[in-house]
Amino acid sequence: MVHISSTFTAFAALSLSVSLALVSAHSHALEKRAAATCSTTYAPIAAGSYPAIDCVPFTQDPQVQAWLKLVDLTKAPVFPQSADGVCPPDPSTLPKEQCWWTCQKCEAPDDITSCPTPGTWGLTYDDGPSPDSPRLYANLKEHNQKATLFIVGSRAVSYPNTLKQAYNEGHHIAIHTYSHHSMTSLTNEQIVAELKWTEKAIFDVIGVTPIYWRPPFGDVDARVRYIATQLGYKTSMWTQGFDTNDWNIPAKTATPQSVVDTFKGWLAKIPSMQTGFIVLQHDIFPEEVDVALNGILPVAYSTKGLAMQPIPQCLNDAKPYKEGAGTFKLVSNGTSGNGSNGAGKALAVGGTQTALMAGSSFLVAAFAAIF
């Protein structure tokens, strides 16, 4: 068990000794972090403390047992636990009703995968807070830009002041599980423990309860969704094909330039998209923050007609916490807040062909200036 201390350096070293499992029938390669050294023997967690950093919480803990009463697990869909989120050799053998995001490219009706308005970018960062997160926050603050931050519970325990800073500056705080394990590999009870311990760790720092969550690696199926929904959470993914691969830079399987080139390629798609999009990015390693500050964000800030917004903003949700708005402020449509670069006048005018063509001319002019 831990109180408010962390072994982030060890976590980073373990995370860099990662292996990548390519997922059949899906273009996204699941990032596999090496597991922390976790005890297999349960020990009670003292009041005011939390489970071991980066370890799946024990389910026999009295706190977890109380949380389990919030979910009717007898009605949970029954599917086999995965082997660390890795897809079977032939994903077509999976039952359609499993709706496994990573292996079947399946999006459930309630999954949040895009922003409704064309030209709108749902700006998100996963895995923080970290020692490098304040550099990202400073840049976003300088540009009056807010983002959705998917927080790992262990990082909230380790860096409460950084989490508090993000919340106080108006960023949207959301859940990214406690230990960052593949959710389909866990038991029903472990899934509850991962989500609720993260909720508690966040609440203990900022005083509000997140209702948005994102599964690590995007690893979610109908069983995991059912449990999350029963606990009152909204499953928030990213748009298929909009993974920056910034998480591959520390592992040396991607470069900052390749990540920026990927982002630039997406910008060319915006005029023809019928909706906005949500992008997968991270802020746990310095290389990930570096590519955001020196590559992606400068291009984004310079792109006319692109509205960068936290997820609740793009969904017009004024109450992204169980308690209400918290420090989040919903900006009215067409204003210049939340990093809007002329949106509301070009791409973000609705879904009509006229609006898309107008947005296209804005972007073509922007590309000529930038690239």
Catalytic residues: 126, 282
Quick one: tokens of 38?
């976790």
Question: Which 3 state secondary structure label does DSSP give 122?
Answer: strand
For residues 64 and 214, what is the distance between their CA atoms, to the nearest angstrom?
A: 20
| Angstrom distance (rounded) from CA 5 to CA 243 | 31
C-alpha closest to that of 59 among 171, 192, 165? 192
Which residues neighbour 337 within 8 Å (Cβ) at sequence distance 6 or greater?
Answer: 144, 331
CA distance 197 to 212: 15
Q: 296, exposed or middle or buried, with CB in 10 Å at 0-12, 13-18, 19+?
A: buried
> Can you tell me the distance from the alpha carbon of 84 to that of 20, in angstroms, rounded to the nearest whole number?
11
Q: Shortest CA distance to 238 belongs to which of 200, 208, 212? A: 212
CA distance 125 to 219: 17
Q: Is 87 helix (H, G, I), strand (E, B) or coil?
A: coil
CA distance 334 to 344: 5
Instruction: Tell which residue, 173, 198, 215, 175, has the closest CA to residue 67.
Output: 198
Strands annotated E in the chain: 19-22, 29-32, 120-122, 124-126, 148-151, 172-175, 212-213, 234-235, 277-278, 306-309, 340-341
Tell me whether the omega of the peptide bond preceding residue 129 falls within 30 degrees of 0, making it cis.
Answer: yes
Spatial distance between the Cα atoms of 272 and 269, rounded to a whole number of angstroms: 6
Q: Which residues contact 342 (CB under 8 A, 6 or more apart)?
A: 304, 305, 362
